């Protein structure tokens, strides 16, 4: 049985993403019997994929309101250099305000959630829960668990799934500040995907410390009409002022114009690693519905 790892405990957006991914595989005709396994850390998921204990792992990569998940970028750049991105899935994020029983928002004394969830609901909290103490925990599921044990008027921010798990009521629905809030998850494995229409490629690279070094790289993409979809910098962790660049662009590494661009880019880099080529979410969704 195929094993796919996600960050536990159950009830988080990672579990929702894992369910979505399995359902997409089934609808796309690529389904094989699979088991979604929750692990306690992102590093555990990556290590299990590298060791072969898991065939695939599901990791949150980028949120539409809070940006990239830096711990994932750092793990891929510095610790787990063999894994590849083989697919992506974009999951809508809808936060709910949950409690053991119904309370009005001005009665809530403590609001608990994962730091990302609290950040994505900052406006709601400032307007309606300004008297409440904010408490950060490791997951929205852990927040729900803590609230389920409290007799005091505590509330958690989490999913409707976790509300069912811990028998909580929804005080207020859709409390995230931006209605289009979504998280991009990546599916990692030891091999990326074969070329299909609508692929993306992800790179990590470092550039020479000279004026225009990054510009030279971007020009090589522009000359070939390759559309960049994401660019992000992270410290190399070796010297202050040194950075790695994470770049996503349209096209598969085996496409001739992409191969040509990557060959030219090497002349401007200290190091370059292809994280993977894989179907973009929109392309995978089209194939699912066809």
pLDDT of residue 176: 93
pLDDT tens digits, one per residue of 79-111: 999 999 999 999 998 999 999 999 999 999 999
| Domains of the chain with bracketed CATH | 2-92+181-191 (3.40.190.10), 96-172 (3.40.190.10), 200-279 (3.30.70.260)
DSSP E strand boundaries for the chain: 2-7, 34-39, 56-63, 67-68, 84-92, 96-99, 110-113, 133-136, 154-158, 169-172, 182-189, 199-207, 228-235, 243-250, 269-279
pLDDT band with cut points at 50, 70 and 90 for residue 259:
very high
**67-76, 131-140, 144-153, 206-215: range with lowest mean pLDDT:** 206-215
How many Å apart are CA 129 and CA 175, to the nearest integer? 11
How many Å apart are CA 78 and CA 237, to the nearest integer? 9
Residues found in the chain: 290
Once rounded to an integer, what is the mean pLDDT over residues 116-142? 94
CA 41 to chain centre: 14
């Amino acid at each position: 049985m195929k094993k796919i790892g996600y960050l536990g405990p159950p009830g988080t957006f990672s579990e929702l993403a894992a369910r979505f991914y399995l359902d997409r595989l089934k609808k796309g005709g690529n389904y094989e019997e699979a088991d979604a396994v929750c692990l306690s850390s992102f590093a555990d998921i990556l290590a299990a994929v590298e060791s072969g204990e898991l065939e695939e792992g599901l990791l949150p990569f980028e949120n539409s309101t809070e940006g990239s998940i830096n711990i994932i970028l750092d793990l891929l750049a510095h610790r787990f250099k063999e894994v590849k991105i083989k697919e992506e899935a974009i999951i809508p994020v809808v936060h709910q305000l949950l409690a053991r029983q119904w309370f009005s928002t001005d009665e809530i004394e403590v609001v608990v959630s994962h730091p990302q969830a609290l950040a994505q609901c900052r406006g709601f909290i400032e307007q309606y829960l300004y008297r409440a103490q904010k408490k950060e925990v490791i997951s929205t599921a852990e927040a729900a668990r803590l609230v389920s044990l409290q007799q005091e008027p505590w509330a958690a921010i989490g999913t409707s799934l976790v509300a069912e798990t811990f028998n909580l009521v929804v005080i207020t629905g859709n409390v995230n500040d931006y209605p289009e809030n979504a998280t991009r998850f990546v599916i990692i494995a030891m091999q990326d995907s074969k070329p299909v229409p609508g692929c993306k490629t992800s790179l990590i690279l470092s550039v020479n410390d000279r004026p225009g070094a990054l510009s030279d790289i971007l020009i090589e993409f522009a000359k070939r009409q390759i559309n960049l979809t994401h660019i992000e910098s992270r410290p190399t962790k070796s010297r202050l002022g040194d950075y790695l660049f994470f770049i996503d662009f349209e096209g598969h590494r085996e496409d001739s114009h992409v191969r040509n661009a990557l060959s030219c880019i090497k002349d401007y880099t200290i190091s370059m690693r292809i994280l993977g080529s894989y179907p973009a979410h929109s392309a995978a969704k089209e194939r699912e519905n066809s």
